[in-house]
Structure 1
Amino acid sequence: MPRRNTGGCVMKERLESVGRIQQDLALIPRPRSMRLTGGGLLLPNHGRVSYQGPDDAASNRAGAFLASQLTKDIQTVCGAFWDRAQGSHWPADIRLSLSEEMDGQSYRLEIHHDRDDENACPPLVSVVGGDLDGLRYGVQTLRQIIFQCGALLPCLHIEDSPAFPVRSYSLDVTRGRVPTMDWLKAWAEKLAYYKYNQIQLYVEHSFAFDELSESWRGTSPLRPQDIIDFDRHCRELGIELVPSLSTFGHHYVNLRTRTLRRLGEFPEDADRPYSFIERQEHHTLNVAEPDSYAFSTAIIDDYAQLFSSHRFNIGGDETFDLGRGRSKPLADRMGAATIYADYLVRLCDHLAEQGREPMFWGDIAIALPGVMDRLPKDNPLLNWLYNPHVDGSKVKMVADMGLPQYVCSAVHAWNNLLPAIGDAWSNISRLAAYGLEYRAVGHMVTDWGDYGHINDPVMSLPGMAYGAQCSWNPLDADRGNCDHAIALLEYGDASGGVIPALDKASCSQAFSWSDLVTYLELDDGVGRVNQDVSRVVALTHKGQGWDTDVHDLRAARHEYLGLLANRLSDQRALQERLDEAARQLAVSLSGTQPQAARAGGAQLLAIEGQGLFNLLGWRLARREGLVRHDAELEKIGEEALAARIEDWFEAYQERWRRVSRESELTRVAAVVWAYADLLRRG
């Protein structure tokens, strides 16, 4: 029998400490029902975790993994050495078990008072799951408590279960940044820690398909073994890895190759200069070309075999060019909605014939009248709605059609060095509430890269945590509690200053990465205005007077800087806020663990870079006479600013390579260096 701590009453000062811990206990997601029973439990120095569930190979394997997580945490946090066992013959200080009387994914966690009776058999801590998933979630809650409380745990009783049966995270690994496998596995572990149960890696061209090397060359692509290994790792964590592959739209890189360009709507544009913005606009397969369907099904069939999941996300979003190019005669005869629905349904049927469950992004289906009537009624529609002020109309529309749906929000980190944290919370919390109201079967948080994936992965952490909270318990939508929990659990920051500091910095982006890309790409490569980029500016700055009839490049760039001039003119105040945010972040992170310090280092680097970007935008606007002369700001000459940007970017590249493969870093570098050259030209 494990030796218990029998040292009598816990010391008064420790009880007072427990009271403080109870008041500030940080959990992500917060349980739906938690009752603090008073007092504390001092874990023994030598104890045991035992799994006492069904005696079969799969259950024992899962139980052993969870017991191992707990013993490792106890050793790391408390310095204690614990044993682990399985089976009812082995009494335990922490007992893990299952109950058929509880619902799937639910759990009950009880931390009892220490007992002086050495013959007492009940465990000090009990985690009971309605199934193995529920047990996993209970263990993650206990791990979070141990992380912040150490050996002295608050006594409590938790009854908990999720609002959404599927809690998914979609990660872009194709638009410039392919993470290292070490980083991917660590991120999956973090997602499991916060009770996500599905991951989708979004791929357009960055996978090493046989015969498609012209597409994936130079991208450091994922390979079959990477997927197989990651799938196994995710299964061990209780997470389903779902293939997510563009099979209709978003084939920009593929359709620029000699091999595949004939499948596109506009093959004549394949040799245009590479453009981050055009990449998001022109990428649709020509459905009138029979080989397009053969291409789509071939990559689906190859990719699906690498996954243990029977689900498959076929994409189908943002097919902007459909019916405008090579397929226009077909669209004129049948209608764009019909040819879209025909192609999507064929892909869904192809997967269904293999016993797989297709899913697809819902934007086109919702926008084109009549498409949703044609869609399979059993396949989830991924209803992505990223507006921070989103309403429930489109969620209700899909529900009224009788279609199952995931409500899909976003971490709001793309196209910026710093995440829009306030937008992320507003978008995620609102959409989760609508999903609950209209009985969505899943909640997804998306994490995009778009213009080269400038956003460091660590910038997604607040949005990911918001998604964990709101997909589990949307009715407990208290951002302050969540921000405090993120600071404590991720950074060891009891002051709670990390997230407010990042929020302050993110609101000080006057010349963002998106602005850098747009200003540069207004040039079509031969000195004229890129009309595709001009139309995107008109959409993103609607109502601000952008003139799409301007064809002189210098005039267009002047006009674009004019849209930003009010923000840029406040340069000193912007820099003061960035400096204040950096100081606040540094203070909050002082004395934290090395892992938290490394994450904080990436955030400080982003804040520094944003200050340089803002000053760059001010300099460009000053050249155009759009902002006033400022002697203090102009002490940094343009050549000196170019050098500072280059120095900063060297550090940025080092950080990139720690968490990501080389991927398409050179495309990001080309943008940065173009501005350094522009500054030096005067």
Structure 2
Amino acid sequence: MTDPPESIGVDELLADVRRIRGWAWRAGKSGRTAQTIVIRPRGPFGAGIPLLEEQGYELRVEADSIIVAAPTATGRFYGVQTLRQILRGSLANSIPCVAIRDWPSLAWRGASDDISRGQASTLADFRATLEHLGFYKMNLYCLYIEDMARFWSAPEVGADRGALTPSELRTIVNEARRRHITVMPMFQTLGHQERLLARPDFGRYAEQQRPDGFNAWVQRALWTLLPAAAQACGVKDPNEEAAPPTCFSPVLPETRARVTELLDEIAAATPSPFLHLGGDEPSDVGNGTSRAAVARRGFGAVYADYLCALAKHVQEVQRRQPVIFGDVLLKDPQAMSAMPKSVAVVDWHYDPSDSGASLERLKEAGFKTVFASPGLWNWYAIYPDYSRAFPNIAHLGRAAKTSGASGLVVASWGDGGAESLHRANWAGYAYAAECTWTAIPPTSFLSRFGSSEYGSRSPALARAEHLVGWQTFSFGPSQRVFHWEPRVRTHTAPWLERMALLERDMTEARRLIADALPTVRFGQARLDVLDHTAARFQYAARRELVMEDLARGSASEGARLSPAEQRLRITSIIALRDSSLNLVDRYEELWRRDNRYPMLDPLLARLRKQTTALDMLLRQARTGTLVPEPPRTAASTPIQVSRTDARPTVAR
């Protein structure tokens, strides 16, 4: 049998064989029988390709034997995963004879997981995510933490949001290591910390300080007596509601010391060669405690001083490579030149047409470790928009290879409450893995994904994946489209055509899923998410079409509806209301299956607004007081939004 460190992949392989074929195979380091899978070390390939030696493997399936061989345990693990994928996609009672020598085109292939804006996985779901990443031969998992770690020095932080304890973080790291995955903890050391800085015990570390006591009195006196002078000096108007602070102060010594303590605590719970310091979108910097320093020295210099100090600590004390996001470096020459080139840079760009040219800029500037980072387009969404995510991943994947980048990290963000369920991301993760090993068209990928993910050769699953995942709305992200309040009014012809097409697509997708279900042997949990998303899109389309019918069928000039017409109106609203209730129940079930509870309530409250609005329309229909509203105008049509105001060029 294989050595214990390699048993995790082998055990899953043998389990797949039993489940798919019913065969009682075994694994060994030698032997040549039809029921033995030989998994063994081998000498160097000698081809002069470092990634082939470090992560490559060869797989031979012959009439009487199956052999996986590689110089490293990582390579043998990857060979086993390829064999599992072949088994899942092959015809019953047969496996195609193949001879494969394979290795990745990028050293690091990963995904970042935002657990700070809504969904925080259970340990079982973290394991499932890591199993999935390992199955597709990804080797980097970036865990995005804002206030979602239970610090020893501040145990109350994140306690009401399901934050991870040090023990849980270590469990995740250990589970990842078993699958040859490195965890990169990502703690925001500058921006995106509005929840942490809203705490009374952390407010004093913020860039935007809230005045109190004597300072508040002075502020109010200045605006009362000398408003022009107060405005010229940058004193905030006390009558204006202040936005919550989002950034740590880059100039206060006590802030730097406290953030360093937090980094040390996270590092202690997450052994890793990396520690990601964030640093993106520092929207507050220069508007508070650092105003004078930025005016005197420049934004980039202040930014770099702060991040450089933290990076030095990470390198010298924690013996890790510090990582930061690259957006500020690319915009500010001061920051670019001052940042040590030993710092790794994650270069994120989410525009599907972005060519990845900035990767070359970072390499030319001297940075040794650069990661390309496309996005899943799952923010403000009920499901990732793969019509945008797939080209984004493909373009940056190609750019990463040609520029000599160290890797690619596909980003999942939870803006809008992380309403898109985790398992919806898995097709995007798998496609990112494909783009860092090979380069295949999305259409071919979906067929392969269906067979490897579900163990089914049914073409219906690829078609259903495409119907649900390739939904783009020019008038807003899918989350906003779903949550529009039911309003009885007429719409434009293009709108109605789009909703009619959406209803047809989702009806077809749900039929395809139901038809293929008997052939599905794996991935039922993900298929549940796919079907639920189709049901949500289907509901949204029907809601808009029913509202249109109700508006056009309303009485005019005092005419009264017949009893039959009245019953039809009531019936159509009841059908929508019942669909809304069922969707809420199903969403809660799927959420609870994979996630910790605390952040579910806000999403359920938002979902239930649909039911509440439909109940009101139902009362109006029953009392004969249901009347249409004015048609939707261009001014009232929601527009797409970016993740934050600091990303205006990439509408999401």
Structure-2-length-normalised TM-score: 0.79
Aligned partners of 2:314 and 2:417: how far apart in 1?
A: 31
Aligned to 2:23: 80
Aligned to 1:373: 337
Shift of 1:638: 6.1
User: Does the alignment pair 1:435 with 2:423?
Assistant: no
1:101 maps to 44
1:206 paired with 2:148, answer yes
2:387–2:469 contact (8 Å) kept in structure 1: no
How far apart, CA to CA, are the structure 2 residues paired with 1:606 and 1:134? 37
Deviations 1:54-99 (A, max 9, x none): xxxxxx3324444434333333333233444558999993322223
Mapped contact 1:201–1:244 kept (Cα < 8 A): yes
Q: Is the 8 A contact 1:285 1:292 kept in 2?
A: yes
2:226 equivalent to 1:285 = no
- 1:490-521 C-alpha deviation (Å, 9 max, x unpaired): 1233232324323323455656454269989x
Moved more, 568-577 or 362-371: 568-577
3-state SS of the aligned residue for 1:186? helix
Task: Deviation per CA, 1:462-484: give whole Å up to 9, x if none.
Answer: 111110100112xx332222111
Rounded to whole Å, the distance in 2 between the matches of 1:564 and 1:162 is 49
CA RMSD of aligned residues (A): 3.5
Amino acid at match of 2:54: G
Distance 1:93 1:576, change over 3 A: closer
Distance change >3 Å, CA 568–CA 456, structure 1 → 2: farther
- Alpha-carbon contact 1:502-1:585 (below 8 Å) kept: no
Cross-structure match for 1:257: 199
Q: CA deviation at 1:204?
A: 0.8
What pairs with 1:127-206 in structure 2 (closer than 5 Å)?
Answer: 127-149=68-90, 152-206=94-148
Q: 1:186 to 1:317 in 2, by over 3 A?
A: same
3-state SS of paired residue (2:81): helix
The answer to whether residue 583 in structure 2 is matched with residue 648 in structure 1 is yes
Aligned to 1:119: none
> 1:80-479 maps to which residues of 2 (within 5 A)?
80-85=23-28, 93-102=36-45, 103-114=53-64, 124-149=65-90, 152-268=94-210, 283-354=246-317, 355-403=319-367, 404-473=369-438, 476-479=439-442
Aligned residue in 2 for 1:61: 4
Once residues 205 and 493 of structure 2 are traced to their aligned partners in structure 1, the CA distance between those partners, rounded to angstroms, is 43
Give the match for residue 649 of structure 2: none
Mapping for residues 507-526 of structure 1, pairs under 5 Å: 507-508=470-471, 512=477, 514-515=479-480
Q: 1:125 to 1:639 in 2, by over 3 A?
A: closer
Residue correspondences, number: 565
Letter in 2 for 1:567: W
Q: Distance in 2 between matches of 1:91 and 1:577?
A: 45
| Deviations 1:181-220, CA, capped at 9 Å, x for gaps | 1111021111111111111111111221134345313211
Aligned to 1:5: none
Structure 1 counterpart SS, 2:142: strand
- Structure 2 stretches lacking a partner, 5+ long: 46-52, 213-241, 557-564, 618-652
Contact 1:589–1:596 (CA<8 Å) still a contact in 2? no
Deviations 1:248-273 (A, max 9, x none): 11111111212212322334499xxx
Paired with 1:621 and 1:405, the residues of 2 have a C-alpha distance of 51
Q: Which residue does 2:506 correspond to in 1? A: 578
Secondary structure of 1:672's counterpart equals helix
Distance 1:620 1:257 in 2: 44
Deviation of 1:335 (Å): 1.4
Q: Which moved further from structure 2: 176-185 or 506-515?
A: 506-515
Note closer, same or farther for the CA distance 1:367–1:483 as it changes in structure 2 (3 Å cut). Answer: same
Q: Distance in 2 between matches of 1:667 and 1:494?
A: 39
Shift, 1:156, TM fit: 1.7
- Provide closer, same or farther for how the CA distance between residues 155 and 674 of structure 1 changes in structure 2, counting only shifts above 3 A: closer
Change (3 A) 1:304 1:634: farther
The whole-number CA distance in structure 2 between the counterparts of 1:288 and 1:568 is 54
Secondary structure of 1:253's aligned partner:
helix
Residues 517, 671 of structure 1: 8 Å contact kept: no
Q: Residue 13 of structure 1 corresponds to which residue in structure 2?
A: none
Matched-pair contact (CA < 8 Å) for 1:411–1:462: no
Assess, with a 3 A threshold, how the Cα gap between structure 1 residues 75 and 576 changes in structure 2: closer, same or farther: closer
The letter for the 2-side match of 1:156 is: V
Mapping 1:493-642, distance limit 5 Å? 493-508=456-471, 512=477, 514-515=479-480, 566-567=494-495, 570-593=498-521, 595-614=522-541, 641-642=576-577
Shift in Å at residue 165 of structure 1?
A: 0.8
* Distance across 2 between alignment mates of 1:224 and 1:394: 36
Check whether the contact 1:390–1:430 (CA below 8 A) recurs between aligned residues: yes
CA distance 1:620–1:671, change in 2 (3 Å): farther
Q: Say if 1:622 and 1:151 are closer, same or farther in 2 by CA, change over 3 A.
A: closer
- Aligned sequence identity (%): 24
Please, which of 643, 665, 670 is the counterpart of residue 600 of structure 2? Answer: 665
Tell me, yes or no, if the aligned pair for 1:571 and 1:618 is still in contact at 8 Å: yes
Q: Offset at 1:604?
A: 1.6
* Matched-pair contact (CA < 8 Å) for 2:346–2:370: yes
Which amino acid counterpart does residue 584 of structure 1 have in structure 2?
L
The Cα shift of 1:621 comes to 9.5
Flag the 1:268–1:615 CA change in 2: closer, same or farther, 3 A: farther
Following superposition, the deviation at residue 665 of structure 1 comes to 0.8
Measured in 1, the distance between the counterparts of 2:158 and 2:348 equals 27
Partners of 1:565 and 1:381 in 2: CA distance: 47
How far, CA to CA, are the matches of 1:330 and 1:184 in structure 2?
A: 43
Q: Provide the rounded CA distance (Å) in 1 between the counterparts of 2:551 and 2:328.
A: 41
Whole-angstrom CA distance in 1 between matches of 2:33 and 2:458: 42
Other structure's SS at 2:302 match? helix
Write the letter of the residue equivalent to 2:284.
D
Distance 1:439 1:635, change over 3 A: farther
Q: In 1, distance between residues paired with 2:551 and 2:206?
A: 40
Letter in 2 for 1:578: M
Conserved? CA contact 2:28–2:38, under 8 Å: no
Cα distance in 2 for partners of 1:260, 1:620 equals 48
Give the direction of change, closer, same or farther, for the CA distance of 1:264–1:638 in structure 2 (3 Å limit).
farther
Question: Match for 1:141: what amino acid?
Answer: T
Q: What SS does the corresponding residue of 2:264 show, helix, strand or coil?
A: helix
The residue type paired with residue 608 of structure 2 is: W
1:397 Cα deviation from its structure 2 partner: 1.3
Compared with structure 1, are the counterparts of its residues 569 and 622 closer, same or farther at alpha carbon in structure 2 (3 Å cutoff)?
farther
CA contact (8 A) 2:44 2:71 kept: yes
- In 1, Cα distance between the equivalents of 2:517 and 2:396? 32
* Alpha carbons 2:385, 2:470 under 8 Å: kept: yes
Which blocks of at least 5 consecutive residues in structure 1 are unaligned? 1-49, 52-59, 115-123, 271-277, 521-556
Matched residue SS, 1:370: helix
Once the two structures are superposed, residues 369-420 of structure 1 have per-residue CA deviations (whole angstroms, 9 ceiling, x without a partner) of 2211111212210011111111132122112212120011122223211221
